[in-house]
Chain A
Amino acid sequence: MNEHRLSRRHFFYGTLLAGAIPTGGFGSTPALSTMGYKSPNEKLNIAAIGVGVRGPAILVGAAATENIVALCDVDEVRSANGFKQYPNAKKYKDYRKLFDAESKNIDAVMVATPDHMHTPVALLAMQHGKHVYCEKPLTRTPWEAQLLVDAAAKYKVATQMGNQGWNHEGTKTACEIFWSGDIGEVKELHAWTGGIYGGQPNLPATGPEPTPVPPTLDWELWLGPTEQRAFNPLMTNQWRAFIDFSTGGSLGDWLVHNLGPAHLALQLHKVSPTSVECVFVEGKNQWLWPLRAHIVFEFPARGSMPPVTVHTYQNMRGDFQNPPGMAEGERLFPPMNNLADKGRPFVQGGDGMMLVSTQLTVDGKPMNQNRGGAFPVSRRPGGPGGRGGQETPGDPKMRAPGNGSVFVGSKGYMATTSRGEGVWLLPASRWAEYKLPPQLLQRGINHQQDWIRSCKGGAPGVSEFSVAASISSGCRSGPSHCVSPAS
């Protein structure tokens, strides 16, 4: 290890990083067991609410080590595959009945419903004293995010938002590169997403047409706290596009991923933005989030870090210019898992299995690499997890360069891919000769195990609700400005 680099990094941002670097280790004590925590040697009994698509994907990261004892979903068709994977788990349609019947049998809950149900389910789980892992974005609105933060503090449970990239080697390395001072101060940052996951519904001017409810779906329970309305399958199939059911279009859905490395490295959760402004919007109506948007956040100084302007783009490039020195055709964002080329090995698992080491095993056996349920939309260009905007001719400003973020530093540029699964410096000639700084952040197995460690009395998860709430709230505030009539 290069002692000079380590020392320089510590002095670069000083005490601002207090708490950012987990001291780690299990803190299990007899007192913790009385608060619902288990020892590292005991298995948790876990229930999952929402097992259509994301539920099975995140469950597999916990099922390798813990017991999955109860499952719940309002849709018999969508949940069939997830239910089949855990034949011994008890099955429910109404999450409230699950808690009535199973509360005494479960320690923790994983929530993978559409966004509008995150708060009711997670809140009830915490009121029952259960640890909670909740898919991202944490909640639809800042009000709900604060509610969950308050509940987690009141009920003293371990929490984690399901933005799995925060536990990826790429995200942690991006933080360490920035903290080393190798790209200097960052006063400007850009982040892009593609189109809305599942696509933009083609609605008639009068809105979704009423359609008979399938007998396999509890529509009233699917709607939960939202306004009562007639069923239309566009709402259950493409709920991420609807203002009432999701956080904020593709930006609302994906900024917790794309801005993850920046949020952690720049310690943005320690402040609130001073300005949130939609500077471009296209394709909005009263039901749906926009087709394209450019939203600018201004963050004040954090300790010795200067104020930073964060540009976020949905399905468009904007005015961003490539860094100087990039060759013609050179790609902006690194390939997924590119750090393997720098000697940082890790297994390429599925979306719920962000393993960061080839050496990690469970009970002496390699962890199962099956990721669980289907992930039906391919990683095509234009998709939120894809390589950029729609491949359409025309104005290049209206085509996203990819899915990721670019740090504009006073001493160079750094780009991260997607959820932070790749990181490099730009231009490529600098990255080719670059030596990574020392690893200083704690590494784990995956995002679910990071939470499970916390459930058993260990250090808090990297995205516990008190940290996750701020970035999740930003995912709503910006798009809300875009769809308001004034924008």
Chain B
Amino acid sequence: MWDANKRRFSNNEEANKLLKPYLRKGWDLKV
């Protein structure tokens, strides 16, 4: 199931891991 408010799956943590990138040290991304 897709949680529209949280923009993540409510029942699939493995898929959720792909919704935010791995960032190598020194590559922090902040607005």
Contact = CB atoms under 8 A, between A and B. Distances in A.
Interface of A: 116, 119-120, 123, 140-144, 146-147, 150-151, 154, 223-228, 243-244, 271-277, 473, 476-477, 480-481, 483-487
By Cβ-Cβ distance, the 9 closest A-B pairs, closest first, are A225-B27, A272-B4, A480-B18, A484-B14, A143-B20, A484-B15, A276-B2, A480-B15, A225-B23
A273 B4 contact: yes
Nearest to B18: A480
Nearest to A223: B24
A274 B14 contact: no
Contacts of B20: 141-144
Contact of B19 (A123, A143, A485): A143
Contacts of A151: 31
Given A123-B31, A224-B27, A477-B2, A141 B14 contact: no
Contacts of A141: 18-21
Given A120-B27, A150-B31, A273-B4, A481 B9 contact: yes
Contacts of B19: 141-143, 476-477, 480
Contact of B2 (A143, A144, A273, A484): A273
A213 B12 CA distance: 37
Contacts, number: 84
B31 A476 contact: no
Contact-residue size bin, chain B (C-beta under 8 Å from the other chain): 20 to 34
12 contacts: A119-B21, A123-B31, A143-B20, A147-B29, A154-B31, A226-B24, A244-B22, A272-B2, A272-B5, A277-B2, A477-B7, A480-B16
B31 to A, nearest CB: 5
Given A123-B31, A274-B4, A486 B12 contact: yes
A481 B8 CA distance: 10
A273 B10 CA distance: 13
Contact of B21 (A140, A223, A483): A140
A116 B21 contact: yes
Nearest to A480: B18
Contacts of A484: 12, 14-15, 18
A227 B18 contact: no
A275 B4 CA distance: 8
A227 B22 contact: yes
A145 to B, nearest CB: 9
A276 B9 contact: yes
Given A143-B20, A147-B31, A273-B4, 5 more contacts: A144-B21, A477-B7, A480-B16, A484-B12, A486-B12
A142 B7 contact: yes
B9 A476 contact: no
Contacts of B24: 223-228
B21 to A, nearest CB: 5
A140 to B, nearest CB: 6
A348 to B, nearest CB: 38
Contacts of A277: 2
A120 B28 CA distance: 9
Choose among B4, B12, B20, B31 the residue with the greatest number of A CB atoms under 10 Å from its CB.
Answer: B31
Choose among B2, B12, B22 the residue with the greatest number of A CB atoms under 10 Å from its CB.
Answer: B2
Contacts of B27: 120, 224-225
Contact of B22 (A226, A275, A485): A226
Nearest to B22: A227
